[in-house]
Amino acid sequence: MAGPLRLDRSLDLYPTTATPTVPTPAFSGERRVAVAVIGGGYTGLSTALHVAERGAEVALVEAGEPGWGAAGRNGGQVNPGLKHEPDEVERTLGPVHGPRLVQLAGGAPDYLFSLVERHGIDCEADRTATLRAAYRHTDVAALETHVEQWRARGVALELLDAARASAVTGTARYVAASRDPRGGSVNPLSLARGLARAALAKGAAIHGDSRATRIEREGRGWRITTPGGTLRSNVLVLATDGYSDRLWPGLAQSFVPVYSSIIATEPLPDALARTILPAGEVVYESGNVTVYYRRDRANRLLIGGRGRQQDARSPEEFAHLVKYARRLWPALGETRWTHWWNGQFALTPDFYPRLHSPAPNLLIALGYSGRGVALATAMGKELAAAATGMPLAELALPVSPVKPIPMHRFWRVGVAARIALGRLQDRLGR
Ligand SMILES: Cc1cc2nc3c(=O)[nH]c(=O)nc-3n(C[C@H](O)[C@H](O)[C@H](O)COP(=O)(O)OP(=O)(O)OC[C@H]3O[C@@H](n4cnc5c(N)ncnc54)[C@H](O)[C@@H]3O)c2cc1C
């Protein structure tokens, strides 16, 4: 057992609220499978589930337990789309991949909720809609574009004025908001564990405490070394996102492993809970430094945003989030904040996710840039299709080379500076 990688090591909320851990014994000995997956987040678990559903033999190795990475620590917001609006995605990726990626990302929440239903995954899935809320008049035009472009594609987004935005969020901070009926929420760790359970039920092998320490080409396939033994496969899927290490040259330098921080209150009294997000939507803000929040089923308020770019050490590092929450809802007063934690996700320079295939029979998907709950889950279906024979040209994402970011080692400084600048710009109303 890799002690340091257990989820109960800190003040994370989800290990206390999620469905029980799934038994996933460490990999040992020697085994050959059609498809091997490295990484047990949504990308890897969904890939394993879909490969198993297609009837191929699949084994997944995860360094911690399923959901140890961002999948078990995130905000639990099931949000549709990408950072870029659909017209821009189509312009940037062209007539083949543009519409496919718009469809994949826009339809990802539908796919996630249907998968949850199909496999009976117990993860507090609630389809309550996503709100994108603007507190600056300068962000309203972008919200209008957002609503118009999805409406043009048949999705019933609404633009809410200040009064309606205030009614749905319970704070007077916003000048407008969009409401996207496709979104909602999950208990993220329960989703990861549920995907693991579903994959096991379909015949996949899932091994926790099994860090892949080396991958090598062997004939047309792959040899994956773990502390307990050697796994061999025809196809290898690398699904390590913000926790990617040195398994593939240049991969860890091709994105910025950004930390996001979250805090949660104790369950709020009913009367107070009814004044904050009365209909239970999830919210993210349009600002430069994105703040996101929701209530869980026990009426805890969870609010997240950028924070210190290192593993969480003390509650003081989260004071800015407490302060901001009190600013949004002064009635919170001295409500106790019982949990605080953070995690990393892969942010790409252009905010587009990546699909790489830098060697035959090797697939890598990452870089959901903070929007992976639905998208990474949907991506698993794509990867499974590719791993079992679908030509790469038919996938939603174009295959791109692994491109290390120049001066990558200065990312910490760069992200910290960007956050400071964003905060300042937000304060100046820019
Ligand atoms: C604090 C936070 C809040 C977020 N909030 C939201 C949100 O509300 N909505 C949203 O859509 N997205 C959100 N995200 C992003 C989302 O969680 C990620 O996009 C998503 O989890 C990516 O899934 P993944 O499976 O690709 O990666 P991960 O879930 O990070 O899984 C990668 C796994 O790979 C494993 N691994 C790495 N190296 C190895 C190795 N050598 N051998 C074996 N295993 C290895 C890691 O242990 C890890 O478990 C948030 C992220 C964070 C950190």
- Residue 12 or 232, more confident: 232
Does the C-beta of 63 come closer than 6 Å to ligand 1? yes
Percent of the chain with pLDDT over 90: 87
Asked if residue 282 has pLDDT above 70, the reply is yes
- Residue 46 belongs to domain spanning: 3-74+189-256+349-410
- Asked if residue 281 has pLDDT above 60, the reply is yes
CA separation for the pair 392, 100 (Å, rounded): 13
Q: Is residue 47 assigned to a domain?
A: yes
pLDDT at res. 325: 96
pLDDT category, 4, cuts 50, 70, 90? very low
What's residue 195's pLDDT? 98
pLDDT class for 6, splitting at 50, 70, 90? very low
Q: How confident is the model at residue 10 (pLDDT cuts 50, 70, 90)?
A: low
Domain count, the chain: 1
Atom number of ligand 1 nearest to Cα 72? 29
Complete DSSP assignment for 384-421:
HHHHTT--GGGSSSPB----PPTTGGGHHHHHHHHHHH
pLDDT of residue 287: 77
Query: What's residue 286's pLDDT?
Result: 94
CB neighbourhood size of 350 (10 A): 10
Q: Is 57 helix (H, G, I), strand (E, B) or coil?
A: coil
User: pLDDT, tens digit, for every residue of 128-177?
Assistant: 999 999 999 999 999 999 999 999 999 999 999 999 999 999 999 999 99
Confidence of residue 314 (pLDDT cuts 50, 70, 90): confident
The residue contributing the CA closest to ligand 1 atom 31 is: 41
Q: Would 172 be classed as within a structural domain?
A: no
User: Is 12 touching ligand 1 by the criterion CB < 6 Å?
Assistant: no
What number of other Cβ atoms are within 10 A of residue 246's Cβ? 11
* Ligand 1, pocket-test mutation among 251, 368, 381, most atoms within 8 A of CB: 368
Asked which of 8-22, 292-306, 333-347 is least confident by mean pLDDT, the reply is 8-22
C-alpha 120: how far from its chain's center? 21
pLDDT at 123: 98
User: What's the pLDDT at 316?
Assistant: 87
> Is a pLDDT exceeding 70 seen at residue 9?
no
pLDDT of residue 416: 61
Q: Helix axis angle, 372-387 relative to 42-53, nearest 10°? A: 40
Summarize pLDDT for 122-136 with one digit per residue, the tens: 999 999 999 999 999
Q: Is 343 left (phi over 0), alpha (psi -120 to 50) or beta?
A: beta
Say if residue 413's pLDDT is above 80. no
- pLDDT at residue 3 in the model: 33
Q: Is the pLDDT of residue 409 over 80?
A: no
Ligand 1 pocket, 286 CB below 6 A?
no
- What the block records as the tokens of 76 is 């639990």
pLDDT digit string (tens) for 93-105? 999 999 999 999 9
For ligand 1, mutation pick of 38, 345, 364 (most atoms within 8 Å of CB): 345
Cβ–ligand 1 distance for 395 under 6 Å, the answer no
Alpha helix segments (H runs only) across 40-139: 42-53, 86-106, 108-118
User: What is the reported pLDDT for 313?
Assistant: 84
Q: Among 212, 254, 255, which residue's Cα sits nearest to residue 236?
A: 212
Q: Which residues are registered as beta bridge partners of 177?
A: 133, 160
CA-nearest residue, atom 20 of ligand 1: 372
Q: What confidence tier does 428 reach under pLDDT thresholds 50, 70, 90?
A: very low
Distance (Å, whole) CA 288 – CA 284? 11
Q: What is the distance in A from the centroid of ligand 1 to the CA of 61?
A: 15
Residue 366 lies in a domain: yes
What confidence tens digit (pLDDT) does each residue in 200-226 have? 999 999 999 999 999 999 999 999 999
The answer to whether residue 251 is domain-embedded is: yes
Mutation to probe ligand 1, out of 68, 193, 222, 243 (largest number of atoms < 8 A from CB): 243
- Ligand 1 touching residue 370 (CB < 6 A): yes
Max distance between CA atoms of the chain, in angstroms, equals 65
Q: Name the residue among 383, 379, 378 with its Cα closest to residue 363.
A: 383
Cα separation, 428 vs 430, in Å, equals 6
Quote the pLDDT of residue 133.
Answer: 98
191 within ligand 1 shell (Cβ under 6 A)? no
pLDDT of residue 406: 85
d(CA 329, CA 277): 11
- Alpha-carbon distance 382 to 107, whole Å? 13
pLDDT tens digits for range 250-271: 999 999 999 999 999 999 999 9
Distances (CA, A) of 13 to 18, 275, 341: 9, 23, 8
Contact 8, 15 (CB under 8 A): yes
> Residue 341 falls within a domain, yes or no?
no
Nearest residue CA, atom 12 of ligand 1? 371
First to last CA, the chain: 49
Residue 8 lies in a domain: yes
Predicted local distance difference test score (pLDDT) of residue 418 = 62
Classify residue 404: in a domain, yes or no. yes
- Tell me, what's the pLDDT at 419? 60
In a domain, 337, yes or no: no
CA distance 95 to 363: 23
What pTM value is reported for the model?
0.95
What mean pLDDT value characterizes the chain? Answer: 93
23-56 pLDDT, tens digit per residue, is 999 999 999 999 999 999 999 999 999 999 999 9
The CATH number given to whatever domain includes residue 391 is 3.50.50.60
Helix (H, G, I), strand (E, B) or coil at 133: strand
